Chain A
């Protein structure tokens, strides 16, 4: 049994719909779900004004449609699953504490911002501030995993404390800005200022990076933890090279300006 929602017409202004969460739907009847309140701009309207709703009382949520203006899907969810067939708006899975979200399409900014735990997989591209801290907050994501198959925007993993972010496509600027822990894996590299002001944590890039001047080259090595990571990532179809016969990681440490103990590992094929 699932709850399946089809978007009837795209909203003309952003639709804030934090009720699109398995926790909210789990105990509700179909008619209760239809009358949940969403915010079309400033107007409070029932969910059914924008969605056809099938099913009830389930923590498996399936969404269909062009949802790019629909924000806060899965916000603060703690369990269950959301599957989206289409593209979604900002704050997908922000502050979530558990459960999983899968998007067959693109996502926007602030995916998994300040999330505590859980799993997000976006098959298309994403925006900026993935797993980041909101303005002023000291810590971004504290645990969990975010995978984006495509490209990403600015400030990915800003101030993240734990957890893993994996980007299949390239990122833009300030990836891992002020990072405090956790791991960011860049399969296609990033533009500039990667790891700027990072304190702790690890950024692994399989493509060459333009390093910040305040990172110092330490050594070439093949750390065993990459080995461990590789095994974990296999289930998502991601292969990290780690054997010495394939090449080695150049290890940079920084950011000296903090001064921080973060590390950036850049893969150098043999």
Chain B
């Protein structure tokens, strides 16, 4: 139930931002991709589109919205679940609706608008995906979008944050079958978020070395995770000397992507974009350093003795 940003620009006459603040976190999202654009199908641009903002507080972005719905903190999942019931004409009590901080009138109006639009789109931000419920909150909105296709065209898309996190997701999927939270300890990829995801691994102390690139967990992770990174040999690649660099055994300075390192980055809608670096860096690129480390590892004995494993197994653990 997703699409490219160009589809939204061309066709979306109903746009809902949920738990995100594009005006401050993705400043050109409005102007370049969504509400401000005119198109063949929506010739009057902003006037032809309705924008709804759902958030726990009235951010700068909310001021740009036609409708602002202030949901009580921690009630996003409940609200989306109510909407799933309402679009199917199920009866939900007033009292139950009120617990989300909204009125029946507001939700009936929202449902009516969702059903009568020609092309609807949900964008959801960290305010949804990083609050209590986490991935289930995102799953709720994706499900609602899928179910809306019984009435009209509807899609949902995460507002991905930092740089090229989408690229990592896409590449891991084609090379390993899974988007994140992977282990290769049996010689092939296995997946279990919660077990193999980094915060959990670090907090439980499940790894005994760490290679960090394009992130600064030393600044963003919970303290027990940082403490584990300090205990084990940590290697860090970054254009700056970061918090992680300071606790690491090894830091290597690299060129910044898009500024002085060429290559590709994926947009949040999974469209790859070529990078055009303006400057020449005195430092090597991430690509070069990782390649050299890989080559150095390849010089050492392989961890699975050659011939000790079948080349293919038909039953996984």
Which chain A residues have a beta carbon within 8 Å of chain B's beta carbons? 12-14, 16, 18, 39, 41-44, 69, 72, 75, 90, 109-110, 128-129, 134-135, 173-174, 177, 193, 196-197, 212-214, 216, 255-259
Contacts and interface: CB of A to CB of B under 8 A. Distances in A.
B195 A90 contact: yes
Contact of A214 (B85, B191, B195): B85
Contacts of A39: 185-186
Contacts of B194: 109, 128-129
Contacts of A13: 206-208
Given A13-B207, A72-B317, A259-B90, A213 B77 contact: no
A86 to B, nearest CB: 17
B244 interface: no
Which of A39, A44, A197, A213 has the most chain B CB atoms inside 10 A of its CB?
A213
B206 A214 contact: no
B195 A41 contact: no
A72 B183 CA distance: 15
Contact of B92 (A43, A109, A129, A213): A213
B285 to A, nearest CB: 28
B81 A196 contact: yes
A214 B92 contact: yes
B99 interface: yes
Contact of A216 (B77, B91, B206): B91
Contact size range, B: 20 to 34
B84 A257 contact: yes
Contacts, number: 82
B126 to A, nearest CB: 19
A213 B91 contact: no
Contact of A135 (B132, B133, B192): B192
The 3 lowest CB-CB distance pairs between A and B, nearest first, are A213-B96, A257-B84, A256-B85
B82 A12 contact: no
A30 B82 CA distance: 59
Nearest to A18: B317
B174 interface: no
B81 A42 contact: no
A173 B206 contact: no
B178 to A, nearest CB: 9
Contact of A173 (B97, B133, B207, B208): B133
B85 A257 contact: yes
B96 A214 contact: yes
B97 A213 contact: yes
B186 A214 contact: no
B103 to A, nearest CB: 13
B133 A193 contact: yes
Given A13-B206, A42-B185, A134-B192, A257 B317 contact: no
B309 to A, nearest CB: 9
A174 B135 CA distance: 12
Interface in B161-197: 184-186, 191-195
Contact of A43 (B78, B93, B206, B303): B303
B217 to A, nearest CB: 18
A90 B186 CA distance: 17
A14 B317 contact: no
Contacts of B81: 196-197, 212-214, 255, 257
B234 interface: no
26 contacts: A12-B208, A16-B186, A16-B317, A18-B317, A41-B208, A43-B303, A44-B308, A72-B317, A75-B317, A90-B195, A109-B195, A135-B191, A135-B193, A174-B133, A196-B136, A197-B81, A213-B81, A214-B81, A214-B84, A214-B90, A214-B92, A216-B91, A255-B81, A255-B85, A257-B82, A259-B85
B100 interface: yes
Contacts of B133: 173-174, 193
A212 B96 CA distance: 8
B88 interface: yes
Interface string B69-102: 0000000011001101100101111001101100
Nearest to B80: A257
B154 to A, nearest CB: 16
A216 B189 CA distance: 43
Contacts of B99: 213
Contacts of B84: 214, 257-258
Contacts of B88: 256-257, 259
Contact of B185 (A41, A109, A135, A214): A41
A75 B186 CA distance: 16
Contacts of B191: 135
A256 B93 contact: no
Interface in B87-122: 88, 90-93, 96-97, 99-100
A193 B77 contact: yes
A256 B185 contact: no
Contacts of B303: 42-43
Which of B84, B88, B100 has the most chain A CB atoms inside 10 A of its CB?
B84
B92 A256 contact: yes
Contacts of B93: 213, 216
A257 B81 CA distance: 6
A90 B132 CA distance: 23
A256 B192 contact: no
Contacts of B206: 13-14, 69
Which of B100, B132, B185, B193 has the most chain A CB atoms inside 10 A of its CB?
B185
